Amino acid sequence: MVLHEHLDINEKGHLTIGGADTVELAKKHGTPLYVLDENVIRKQCRTYREAAIRCFGEDALPLYASKALCFTGIYKLAAEEGMGIDCVSGGELYTAKKAGFPAERIYFHGNNKTDRDISDAMDMGVGTFVVDNPDELSAVSAEAVRRGITQRILLRITPGIDPHTHRAVVTGNVDSKFGNAIVTGQAMDIVKKAIATDGVDLVGLHCHIGSQIFDIDPFADAAKIMTEFMARIKSECGYEIRELNLGGGLGVRYTEYDRDIDYAACIKDIAEVVSGLCEKNGIRMPRVILEPGRSLVAAAGITLYTVGGVKEIPGFKNYISVDGGMPDNPRYALYQSQYTALIANRANAPRDFRATLAGRCCESGDLLGENMEIQHAERGDTLAVLVTGAYNYSMASNYNRIPRPPVVMIRDGEDKVVVKRETYEDLTRNDIF
Ligand SMILES: *Cc1c(COP(=O)(O)O)cnc(C)c1O
């Protein structure tokens, strides 16, 4: 059960990624180890870009929501593939700048941009700010006016949709910490304020309804609410919204129980829905923007661990302990995210064992999964967790003073370290007493 076509099992019975033997990779680079298949990321970027251009025209710009996986190399890759990016912090902006990412193709998100963030982003020439709230609108406007510039902005709108996904990743609800709700009248208030505010050019609206969404119905619902709102802005304010950003959120196959998604077909369906709604509401088709994160990078990545031991508690459960855990992948601890795991050096063996995958932290909740179907394991085995390209490295911490693993990228069967393993020295670098 290897889920995706870049993963396979070779004649030795070892799991391979992009043609590289994972057992060899673990030996060469040590564990825990993040491995990414570069070709898969590039292919996904092309799928999104080609579909977006086909459906929305030459000026379509899919954005990579870079919080999913952030280091300089990924921004270089996104730039080469003609993507825009979405950044949510000064640190992400700084990393993108270091990678030489073209600033005009950056959308700056986040629900609390500090004065320093705003100023740094304007120093960089960030193309578009996605303004979250009226206080932030005032701050962005003040800084732009001080500099004598006009900043392109989108406003973050809360359409009030529950995309039937996990609550912790639902952000489109009315009581969300993000954005301005239409039903409370706050969305129209901030639109009117933005139109009347100096130093900003209101080009469009943004919404993001959630994550791990497997059909386009929630996007169609969002598009309906947003285009109706655009029509109201046109009639009440005589103002035309030129850009509609429908956010990210398309799902990824993490386990055999998840469907596979035809991303190009989804984009085409979304485009048809938006175009029909614009016609119905008597507004011009805006530039439509999608900003996938997870679906660009998740499947490309796996994490390799070394098994430290197996504990069978008769009548209760079995544990397989690995040399990583919540510091490199906090997603199970945070939202019980489901993963597929296998013993990489016996990938063909039957998965006839049930175990909880335990991390090495002093925390009972430090688990990578419970009651997982896997092969029998023993100390020294290489264990692979699949589909860890998104929200793993980017969410990693140094809890228990555990250094972050390196990231190795596979290109055409060759492996290349793109992020070094942290050292103990790195951990104490900022300790000055
Ligand atoms: C997280 C996020 C995304 C990406 O979501 P995915 O589920 O990773 O595709 C896009 N836009 C915004 C505003 C986000 O917060």
Write down the pLDDT at residue 170: 57
Mutation test of ligand 1: which of 108, 216, 294, 394 has the most ligand atoms closer than 8 Å to its C-beta? 294
Name the burial class of residue 429, with classes exposed (0-12), middle (13-18) and buried (19+) by CB atoms within 10 angstroms of its CB.
Answer: exposed
For residue 210, the ligand 1 atom closest to its alpha carbon is 7
State how far the Cα of 152 lies from the Cα of 385, in Å rounded to an integer. 41
Write down the pLDDT at residue 1: 64
Nearest 10 degrees: Cα torsion 324, 330, 334, 335: -90
Write down the pLDDT at residue 280: 97
* Cα of 154 from ligand 1 centre, angstroms: 16
Percent of the chain clearing pLDDT 90 (strictly above):
92
Helices (H), 57-133: 72-80, 90-98, 115-124
Q: Which residues contact 218 (CB under 8 A, 6 or more apart)?
A: 161, 163, 164, 172, 209, 210, 249
Write down the pLDDT at residue 169: 53
Per residue in 39-85, pLDDT (tens digit) is 999 999 999 999 999 998 888 899 999 999 999 999 999 999 999 99
- What phi and psi, each to the nearest 5 degrees, are found at residue 233? -65, -40
In this prediction, residue 173 has a pLDDT band, given cuts at 50, 70 and 90, of: confident
Q: Class of 38-296 per CATH?
A: alpha beta
For residue 291, the ligand 1 atom closest to its alpha carbon is 10
Per residue in 303-357, pLDDT (tens digit) is 999 999 999 999 999 999 999 999 999 999 999 999 999 999 999 999 999 999 9
- Tell me which of 51-55, 164-168, 301-305, 382-386 is least confident: 164-168
* Cα of 264 from ligand 1 centre, angstroms: 18
* Cα of 70 from ligand 1 centre, angstroms: 13
Write down the pLDDT at residue 16: 98
For residue 292, the ligand 1 atom closest to its alpha carbon is 9
Residue whose CA is at the smallest distance from ligand 1 atom 7: 249
| Nearest residue to 30 (alpha-carbon basis) of 411, 398, 305, 301 | 305
Instruction: Give residue ranges with CB within 6 A of ligand 1.
Output: 65, 67-68, 86, 109, 208, 211, 247-249, 291-295
Cis status, amide bond into 32, omega within 30 of 0: yes
Residue tagged active-site, from 87, 207, 361, 362: 362
pLDDT at residue 175 is higher than 90: no
* Cα of 248 from ligand 1 centre, angstroms: 4
Q: Which two tokens stand for residue 106?
A: 């950056």
> Between these two residues, 131 and 169, which has the higher pLDDT value?
131
pLDDT at residue 172 is higher than 70: no
Mutation test of ligand 1: which of 67, 74, 392 has the most ligand atoms closer than 8 Å to its C-beta? 67
- Per CATH, the number for 7-30+300-428 is 2.40.37.10
State how far the Cα of 213 lies from the Cα of 269, in Å rounded to an integer. 14
pLDDT at residue 2 is higher than 90: no
> Can you tell me whether residue 183 is helix, strand or coil?
coil
pLDDT at residue 120 is higher than 70: yes
Write down the pLDDT at residue 178: 93
Write down the pLDDT at residue 171: 60
- Tell me which of 176-185, 230-239, 318-327, 394-403 is least confident: 176-185
Write down the pLDDT at residue 232: 98
b (16+ CB within 10 A) / e for 408-417: bbbeeeebee
Write down the pLDDT at residue 176: 87
Q: Give mean pLDDT, residues 246-268.
A: 95
Write down the pLDDT at residue 413: 86
Q: Within 13 Å of residue 77, how many CA atoms lie on the same side as its CB?
A: 24
In this prediction, residue 359 has a pLDDT band, given cuts at 50, 70 and 90, of: very high
The whole-model pTM stands at 0.95
> Can you tell me whether residue 172 is helix, strand or coil?
coil
* Cα of 208 from ligand 1 centre, angstroms: 7
* Cα of 311 from ligand 1 centre, angstroms: 38
Mutation test of ligand 1: which of 291, 387, 394 has the most ligand atoms closer than 8 Å to its C-beta? 291
Q: Give mean pLDDT, residues 182-191.
A: 96
What does the domain layout of the chain look like in residue ranges? 7-30+300-428, 38-296
Q: Give mean pLDDT, residues 29-45.
A: 98
Catalytic status, residue 45: no
pLDDT at residue 405 is higher than 80: yes
